[in-house]
Amino acid sequence: MSSSTSNEYSLPTTTSPLNVPASANRWFIPLFALVVIGGLFYVFHSLALDLESARAVPWLMLGLALLIALGFEFVNGFHDTANAVATVIYTRSLPAQAAVLWSGVFNFLGVLASSGAVAYGIVALLPVELIMEVGSSAGLAMVFSLLLAAIIWNIGTWYFGLPNSSSHTLIGSIMGVGLANQFLAPAGAAASGVDWSQAYKIGLALLVSPLIGFIGAAVLLVLMKTVIRSKDLMKSPEGNKPPPTMIRGLLILTCTGVSFAHGSNDGQKGMGLIMLILIGLVPTAFALNRTPGPDYMEAFQSASSQFEQTLNRYAGSAAPADDVREEVVHAIETHQWTPATTASLAQFVGNTRSEIEHFDSLSQVPNGLVTNLRNDIYLSGQAAALMPEQSGLSINDSDRQVLKNFEGQVNTATQFIPDWVKVAVALALGLGTMVGWKRIVRTVGERIGKTHMTYGQGASAELITMATIGAADHLGLPASTTHVLSSGVAGSMTANGSGLQWSTIRNMIMAWVLTLPASIAIAFVLYVAMRAVL
C-alpha cells in the first residue's frame, strides 16, 4: 500500500514547509506543555470530584479503559486533525508548528461546543444488552475490542501515510462486535447484533461525504475562477513566501473552520465510548445526569404522563405482555413491533415514572437504584425513537411532538457529557496531531495532485470540508474529515487540470474499501478472544 511512485510530485527539501526550524520549538514546546499540564490537572481534579460520591471505584480497570479510549482519540489525531492543517502549511499561510497549535486550539473549542448527538448516535449502534450491562465482562470486552480494533487499523494506515477515516474504522469495529455478539449467543437466545437501520444512515453519510467533497471543491474552484478572477488566488507559493494578506486570511479562516468542525464531530466518537466506560464501571457517579434541578423532574413527569396516555390510545384494546420490560427489550433488539408492544411500552413508561416521582431531583436517587433506573429510562427512550418507524401506526403531528418531548427528557437524564471528558478528548486529539501529523500532511499536500497546491485549491477544499462536517454535526451524523478533505483536494486538482497521482488515489481508495471489512474482522476476533478471557 505504499504511496511512493517515480513521478510523484514532491517539494524540494530546502523549501519544504514541513522542515520546522529548531528555533520554533523554543516557544512552541513550552507553550504546548503548559496547555497539556493545565488540561491534565483540570481533568484529574474534576474526575476526583465526580468520584467522591462513588461507593467503590475499580481504579485499575477504569484507568486502563480510559487509557485505551483516549488512545483511540490520540491515534485519531494522526489522521483527521492533520488534514485540517495540510492546506495552510502547503500554501505557506502558517508555519507548520503554528498551524498545528492553531488547529489544536480550535479543535479544543469545537469539542467543548459539541452537542453530544454524534457521540450517542455512535453508541446507539452497539447491542442494547451490552450497553445496559457495559460494566460486565461482556460489556468491557465490547469496549476494549472495538477500541483496540480501531487503533490497530488506524496505526497501520497512518504508517503508510494514507488518509484513512477514523469514523469509518470505528463504525466497522462496532459492527464487528455486534456480529460477534450474535455469533456467541446460545442457541435460541435473543441477542442483538448490528442495528442495520442506524448503520445504513451512518454508512450513507460516510459514503456520500467524500463525493460531496470532490464535487463541491471542484465546483467551488470553478466558481472562484469565474467570479473572483484573481490571478493571485490561483497562484502557488513562491519559495517560503506567504500568500497575499487577504488570501492568507481566507486560508487561515478555512483551517479554523475545519478544525472547529472536526473537534465538534470527530471528538464526540471518543466521548461517547468514554461515557459508556464510566457508566459501566462507576454507575453511581455517571449513570444519571445529577445536575438538573426540580424543574427537570416536573418536566420529566409531565412528558412521561403525556406519552403514556398517547401510547394507551394507540394500543387500543391490546393487552401488555406479562413482562413489559422484556417485551420492550425484545422490540429494540429485533425491531419487531406489535400492538402488545405499544401497550407494554405504555405500562413500562408508567412504571419508570412511578420509580422517579418520589425524588425532587436526580441527585437524590439512591446509589443502589441508579443503574436500574438509568437502564429503564434509556430503554424507554430507545423504544420511543423506534416506535414511529417500526410500529406501523399512523402517528399525527401533535402526538409526534409528545414523543419528541419525551425523548428530549430522556436524553437530558442519560445522554450527558461532563466538561472534563471533553477536555481529555481534546488533549488526546491535540497530542496525536503533534506526534504524527507529518505523514498525513505530506500525503495531502504533495501526493494527491501532480502540481503544487494553489491558494484557491486549498481554500475551496477546506470551505467544502468545513460546511460538510458542520452539516453532519448538526444532523447528529458522523462524517470523515479525512475523506472529505482529501477528496476535496483531489476535486480541486481535477477542476484545475493539475492532474492526479493515481498511485496515491488507488491506495486511498483501497484503504477506504478495506477499512470496513478489516475493522469488522479485527473487532470480531478480538471480541471473541476477550469474551473467552474475561
What is the pLDDT at residue 13? Answer: 41
pTM value surpassing 0.85: no
pLDDT tens readout for residues 56-95: 788 888 899 899 999 988 887 766 666 778 888 888 888 8
What are the grid coordinates assigned to 172, written together?
466497522
**In the block, which residue shows the cell 477514523?**
166
Q: Are 262 and 84 within 8 A, CB to CB?
A: yes
Alpha-carbon distances of 33 from 37, 96, 315, 434, 436, rounded to whole Å? 6, 17, 60, 11, 17
pLDDT tens readout for residues 108-117: 788 888 777 7
pLDDT tens readout for residues 150-169: 899 888 887 776 667 777 78
Beta bridge partners of 500: 449
Alpha-carbon distances of 211 from 200, 205, 272, 306, rounded to whole Å? 17, 10, 27, 43
Please say if the pLDDT value at position 14 is more than 60: no
390 pLDDT band (50/70/90 cuts)?
confident
Q: Are 230 and 49 within 8 A, CB to CB?
A: no
| Stretch 8-27: mean pLDDT | 53
What is the pLDDT at residue 187? Answer: 64
DSSP 481-501: HHHHHHHHHHHHHHHTT--B-
455 pLDDT band (50/70/90 cuts)?
confident
